[in-house]
Amino acid sequence: MIKDTIETLKAELEQVLYLNLDDFRIEIERDEVSSRFIGLRLRSEFQPIFDTSRTEGLLGYEAQLRPSTGIEAVTPGFAFSIAESQGKLVQLDRVARTLHVLNYLTLPEKKGLLFLHVHPGLLSGVTCHGKIFEQILHRNSLPTREVVIEINESEMAAAAALRDAVDNYRDRGYKIAIVGFGGKHSNLDRLWKLSPHFVKFDLGIIRQAQKDTKFRRALPRLMEVIHAFGAQTVIQGVENEIQLDIALDAGAKLLQGHYLGRPAPATAWNRQPKPLCRNTLMPGAPHHFGSFSVPAQCGM
């Protein structure tokens, strides 16, 4: 299926991406789309984000870039630094987003929202390459309203430029998520002005709540402040059962973390991801969320 899709799209993608597909060599193996660009192999992985208030229990997936030299993995930051040094930052961003979309198409039918990170150096270019990416979405029957643009708070650019970029994305129908809130760069006034749809807490928030009972009691209040701005909160970094219990006790509805589901290729999610589990009644007891039921062992 994905091979037919790429063959159909090949000529158009060359025009839309302003890249020769042979230059970044799209490859397909077992329905997984990868690419070779700037001397690296690029792959997509997806991590589920759960919504305990939904019957199906799933909000969507966060796409994550997985670059490697072919021998060992490297970080996305390293890949983008290479691209920037070669003057190919925009091209790498286009390649990565295209890979994510093509692989996203192979996820289960009820896949929910697609969360995509935007490199901070490209936020100001939304009026240009944002339109190009929108063409790719439309060609694949993926409406912008089903795409969430993630902006890391620690990487935010100048306030005015950031606000313009967010407004441009929102005007095109995208949803906005501010990632890493609660870290050292957090700013409530800026958050209020941006009015994002989602606020993903810094990974250290849930860890601190596990260590500090005072902080744990304050967590529901912090979430209330964000909700008062009209945004939904996502507790990231849930890595064990204790942290899951803390998040649920605080009233969290949207959850993400390795304990609930590790990032994996789209082909690994050939069925809906396992639901949340919370073993507070008795050891080994399954926990039910909506139509899902799983044993005590969570994640993949």
The CA–CA distances, whole Å, from 43 to 30, 56, 236 equal 13, 28, 22
Q: Tens of pLDDT along 119-159?
A: 777 776 555 546 667 877 887 788 999 999 998 876 665 66
pLDDT above 90 coverage of the chain, percent: 47
- Look over the chain and give the mean of its residue pLDDT values, rounded to a whole number: 81
Identify the three-state secondary structure at position 80. helix
Q: Which residues in 236-262 are b (16+ Cβ under 10 Å) and which e?
A: bbbbeeebbebbbebebbbbbbebbbe
Q: Tens of pLDDT along 54-102?
A: 877 899 999 999 999 988 999 999 999 999 999 888 888 888 988 999 8
Q: At what angle do helices 89-104 and 126-139 cross, to 10 degrees?
A: 20
Q: Tens of pLDDT along 247-295?
A: 999 999 999 999 999 999 998 987 655 555 544 322 233 333 433 333 3
The CA–CA distances, whole Å, from 260 to 126, 140, 214 equal 33, 29, 25
The pair of structure tokens assigned to 67 is 């670059």
Position of tokens 């996502």?
Answer: 234
Distance CA 247, CA 280 (A): 13
The dihedral built from the CA positions of residue 80, 173, 223 and 275, taken in this order, carries a sign that is negative
Which residues does 76 contact at the CB level (< 8 Å), separation at least 6?
64, 65, 66, 67
- The dihedral over CA atoms of 109, 234, 138, 18, expressed in degrees to the nearest 10, equals -120
Distance CA 57, CA 276 (A): 8
Tell me which of 14-23, 106-115, 244-253 is least confident: 14-23
Superfamily of the domain at 2-277: EAL domain (3.20.20.450)
Strand-pair category, 32-37 with 287-289? unpaired
Residue 32 main-chain phi, psi, to 5 deg = -105, 130
Residue 116: strand pairing partners: 149
3-class SS string, 194-219: HCCCEEEECHHHHHHHHHCHHHHHHH
Distance CA 275, CA 196 (A): 26
Q: Do the Cβ atoms of 42 and 36 come closer than 8 Å?
A: yes
